[in-house]
Chains A and B, each alone.
Chain A
Amino acid sequence: MPRLLALVVVAGTVGVNPPLAKSAEPLHVRIDAIIDAKAKAENAAVAAPADDAEFLRRAYLDFAGTIPPVSVTRAFLSDTSASKREKLIESLLNSPTYATHMADLFNVALMERLGDSPEWSKYLRESFAKNKPYDQMVREMLRANSKDTNNVGASFWISKRLENYGQNPVDYSALTRDVGRLFLGKNFQCCECHDHLFIDDYKQQHFQGLHTFFKNTFLSKGVVAEKLTTEKHPFASVFTKIQMTTGPSLPGMMMIDIPMFAKGMEFVTPPDRKTNEPGVPKFSTLQAISEQLPTAKNTDFTRNAVNRIWFAVMGRGLVHPLDLHHSRNPASHPELLTLLADEFASHKFDIKWLLGELALTKTYQRSSVVVAGKDTPDARLFAVALEKRLSADQLLNAMLTATENDAKVADTLRPKFVKAFANQAREPEDEIAPSLKGALFVLHDAAVLELVNSKPGNLVERVAKLDDAAATDELYLAVLSRKPTETERAAVAKLLAKHTDKRAEAVGRVAWALLASMEFGVNH
């Protein structure tokens, strides 16, 4: 009988309908209702709310790409107003640092360290500064029209992928795969040659239909151009060998008819053999995909977009891995994914609005400290805040802010930080991956060590003049955005007391230890 009893209990818990919040309520309330209901149903040990210091640091890293300057930390910690968190979120989303950080976030996510260009960075920064709707951004990237002078940089997403690497041919398969992965959340790589062997939802038709949008694109003097697409694209499964054809088509959407034009009438501007200028076809497959893909009715697009934004803020996708949306890998909270996708679309793909709502949730504002004595809840429950990887840029900015060194050195240091902390090209930076290279960089590289040498106006110089207790407080506030514990105060005081003759160097070592700590190196 005990077994039966257990079944009844389980059924009883699962069967309770989550107290769904009314739709009139703001999105962040509805999100929490869904997350809380599931955490409760699974009896998860939900973490306490993050304290002000933890919240402040997290919000800064997430929306400004760096840690708070010590003056901000001090002011925030002593601010007694009840709405200070809302005000902080509001202010971070409307600071100039917002666009810079979003540009970094989306550059890493969308280019996966394939390369960089000033126009592309500028495009991203300006788009986020204007809070351009995300569907419009994706439309501009997929259209890749470098003649659109306002959005020259947008074409970099495709043009970089149409480059040759050494003697290798252009990797059209990778371009097709990336469109699927990054804009639809579906990795069709295995479907180039056959239907997916393990994922029933992924068909060869999906890969080939997507590929048909890009197979006639090429680079002409660095600019994305198109050849004519006049007939369907043939393919066959390596298993069945049955010959098939497809027009340009997105998974789950109608195949696009390839229009027929009379000979000589196919181009808006015919190619110029003298100048080698490519023609502009009347039927542009890039135009077609840019109109079809980033739309409210393409749920692959909307669900992938919100899932990736959720991941960036919460540390894990509702669907995870991020590029494996399919029926046997459902979202941890299916109704939440649908809710976010619908709301995002109905708010005209307003990223800033969505980020603001996510930041207001209790889910976001939970501590990353697990509940002592309880099992650590599954990451999928979002019952404890998940640690997030810092990008090379975030780490660099945070180190410069913490050590109060001149931000002008950032451009010199950036390549070194990217080398030490970024993944290789095509490796998504979607999880925290501490490496030997990164550890050795922090331990020994002059780029880091210089930051904790005493220099006019920097943290170490300033703190070395303070007495031990004040110096310790200041170092912890500046680097870790919190006050030290008593144990930590004692440890630092002991260290400093040993080096009264070389105080600045000793302060530098303490600052280094804080910079090199796990607590600093991650967004917790």
Chain B
Amino acid sequence: MLCTPIEHSLSRRRFLGAAGGSALSLGGLVTPAIAEKLRKERRQVLFVWLDGGMSQLESWDPKPNTPFGGPFRPIQTTVPGIQISELLPQSAKLMKHLAIVRSVSTQDNSHSAGVDRINRGDPKNRGVVYPYFGSAVSKLVGSNDSGLPSYIWVKPMNGGFIYKDAGFLGPKYGALALGDGKPPENLLRPKEITTEDDDERNELRKLLDTKYAEQRRKEFTEANTHAFEMAAQLQKKIELFDLSKLPQKDQDRYGSHDLGRHMLLARRLLEEGVTFVKVTSYGWDTHGDHFNGAASLHPKFDRPFAAIIEDLRDRGMLDNVLVIACAEFGRTPRINGHIGRDHWPEAWSVCMAGRGIKGGVVAGKTNDKGTEVATDPVDIGGLFHTWYKALGIDPKETEFRNGGQPLPIAHEEMKPVKEVLA
């Protein structure tokens, strides 16, 4: 069980209440000036999470003709000298936008520990629960005035508001999860209520609320107002969720499978200005029949991943949006008795693109068989440094504040991967 400190008992109410004025917020930045400067430029993140662990050998770091290489061939990318697996043909065409770190080496071999540590960036044990990257960026960058929550998570299955991602920042910085890419339950107004009737009843409600709020403490009334405002904002964006209105060509390029539809929704959310969009795909934990699994899974990632990179590029959005494809670990070079690959945090790859990233680059390498990292290993803390730098946030100048306690935004003893920074 994770050690949850006193700070964890920060209030859910405080978080919601903080939406209006930042005075109530405890997890503040060191200087408001920096925060203001950050908000002026739109910076966004697309975080693609391949839950269970994508095999680096069948994706970003193929090892053909080696004992562990498996049956798939590498292919040339559009950048001379860089090869990736033939299972990612679309991504190969966009290599000049992509940067691959092949020397990722992390600590946790189990899903439960790995998911948490990778998402939180694993700053040394500070006795507090660190925010997930999405919550951290949501805090550091702000909401971009999209009218939508700053951290939206598109995922299969259930949705809801996932405040545990926020750690000590307080639940305001949690994720609004759109289960199966669908809008929150009850978002649609029933047809029998006309717009006029709806306005009329809400006007009377607001009249009551204004009078009530004038005479009361602020905590509850502000939080309640925020909840109803978020409901109203999302209702206005209801068309976001109707992908069928998009050109058929778009839908075909992304694919009609979960990750395809979810990535297309992610593009729409990024276009709207949402600061951090996380897209999760499940089912990558291929302990058995790995190669058939990979042959089916990897293209399901490749197609929408390449499509969104193209679309962001065509819209000029790669200058703003940092794109990351990541998991909790890679997979073992050794092929197990079930023709599977197991968990392998020792040596795996992460791909990124977009804002602050130099495209067409491979940083670090693994040894010939792909079993170990052959260059300086990059732990998740180093990747967080890289990503913050790419977003123009200097981990040396910026820190979180938890109550009075200053906390680094990334592991203090680690450094960014300079080769991939623009």
Contacts and interface: CB of A to CB of B under 8 A. Distances in A.
Interface of A: 171, 173-174, 177, 189-190, 192-193, 197-199, 321, 323-324, 368-370, 372, 376, 379, 384, 386-387, 431-441, 443-446, 449, 485, 488, 491-492, 495, 505, 509-510, 512-514, 516-519, 521-522, 524
A372 B227 CA distance: 26
Contacts of B50: none
Contact of A446 (B9, B187, B190, B234): B190
B13 interface: yes
Interface in B365-393: none
B220 A439 contact: no
A173 B1 CA distance: 7
B215 A370 contact: yes
Interface in B1-52: 1, 3-6, 9, 11-13, 16
A444 B190 contact: yes
A521 B228 CA distance: 13
Nearest to B149: A436
Contacts of A384: 217
Given A433-B12, A434-B226, A437-B160, A517 B4 contact: no
Contacts of A321: 9
B265 to A, nearest CB: 18
A324 B193 CA distance: 47
B397 interface: no
B220 A509 contact: no
B422 interface: no
A434 B12 CA distance: 9
Contact of A439 (B13, B212, B215, B227): B227
B200 interface: yes
Interface stretch (B201-209, B313-321, B329-337, B343-351): B201-209
A167 to B, nearest CB: 11
Given A440-B185, A517-B212, A189 B201 contact: no
B205 A369 contact: no
Contacts of A492: 204
Contacts of B5: 190, 197-198
A439 B216 contact: no
22 contacts: A173-B1, A174-B1, A190-B5, A192-B3, A368-B217, A370-B217, A384-B217, A432-B13, A434-B224, A436-B176, A439-B228, A441-B186, A444-B188, A444-B189, A485-B211, A516-B201, A516-B205, A518-B213, A519-B208, A519-B209, A519-B212, A522-B220
A207 B189 CA distance: 50
Nearest to A329: B6
B205 A431 contact: no
Contacts of B189: 443-444
A384 B234 CA distance: 35
Contacts of B302: none
8 tightest CB-CB pairs across the interface, nearest first?
A: A513-B204, A440-B186, A434-B224, A517-B208, A509-B201, A513-B205, A439-B227, A433-B12
Contact of A512 (B13, B201, B226): B201
A437 B190 contact: no
Given A434-B16, A492-B204, A513-B202, 5 more contacts: A384-B217, A434-B224, A436-B234, A437-B161, A510-B204
A55 B342 CA distance: 64
Interface in B205-251: 205, 207-209, 211-213, 215-221, 223-224, 226-228, 230-231, 234
B127 A491 contact: no
A368 B216 contact: yes
B217 A434 contact: no
Contact of A518 (B200, B212, B234): B212
Given A491-B204, A491-B207, A509-B204, A432 B227 contact: no
B13 A518 contact: no
Contacts of A193: 3
Contact of B209 (A386, A440, A518): A518
B219 to A, nearest CB: 7
B197 interface: yes
B1 A431 contact: no
A518 B201 contact: no
B184 interface: yes
A509 B200 contact: yes
A513 B187 CA distance: 18
A387 B220 CA distance: 8
A143 B218 CA distance: 44
B212 A376 contact: no
Contacts of B205: 512-513, 516-517
A488 B207 CA distance: 8
Given A192-B1, A432-B223, A434-B227, A370 B202 contact: no
Nearest to A47: B215
Contacts of A495: 200, 204
Contacts of B201: 509-510, 512-513, 516
B307 to A, nearest CB: 30
A324 B220 contact: no
Given A197-B5, A368-B216, A436 B227 contact: yes
